[in-house]
A = this chain, B = another copy of it.
Amino acid sequence: MTTPSTSPSEREPRWLTAGEQLVWRSYLEAATLLEDHLDRQLQRDAGMPHMYYGLLVKLGESPRRRLRMTELARSAKITRSRLSHAVARLEKNGWVRREDCPSDKRGQFAVLTDEGVAVLERTAPGHVAAVRQAVFERLTPEQQESLGEIMRIVAEGLQPAGAGADLPWLR
């Protein structure tokens, strides 16, 4: 990540400019700190990592509190394998239950249980407060909007592009 002076003949790759490096470093630091912070917050207050909490939220927002595994994986931006392990754990906690799909015998629904709903209701306020305090309280409305737009662009660019081996929808 060092910048080896100027590159006269274009044999040198295109490094990040000093400014870009600063941006990138800030991003990496903030992303690391933020994810760690929220992971700890949720591990402490809800007994699960951030990603698992996100899965419960998505199930809670879905029609009959259920989603096909593949759809949940797609929506959460994770592999099916990872989801499979995650749901196994959440099932052991009693927060999610699996149900067969009637129309496709391969299919499985992940269903948010009443206990799962209860955990969400109990822990959501604290989590929202943490997000608020870490992010939204510190940014102006313009910055918030800007952040949304920027991240939307980045996410979009990564969706159809990536060569994910187990993420077919990202191809």
- Which residues of A come within 8 Å of B, CB atoms? 1-2, 13-16, 19-20, 22-24, 26-37, 40, 54, 57, 60-61, 76-78, 124-125, 128-129, 131-136, 138-139, 143-155, 157-159, 162-164
| Least Cβ–Cβ distance between A74 and chain B, in angstroms | 11
Q: Which residue in B134, B144, B163 is a CB contact (below 8 Å) of A23?
A: B144
Chain A interface main SS type: helix
Number of copies: 2
* Bound: A118/B107 CA distance, A: 48
11 A-B pairs besides A24-B135, A33-B159, A139-B150 with CB distance below 8 A are A1-B57, A1-B61, A2-B61, A26-B148, A30-B155, A31-B31, A40-B164, A138-B153, A143-B150, A146-B150, A147-B150
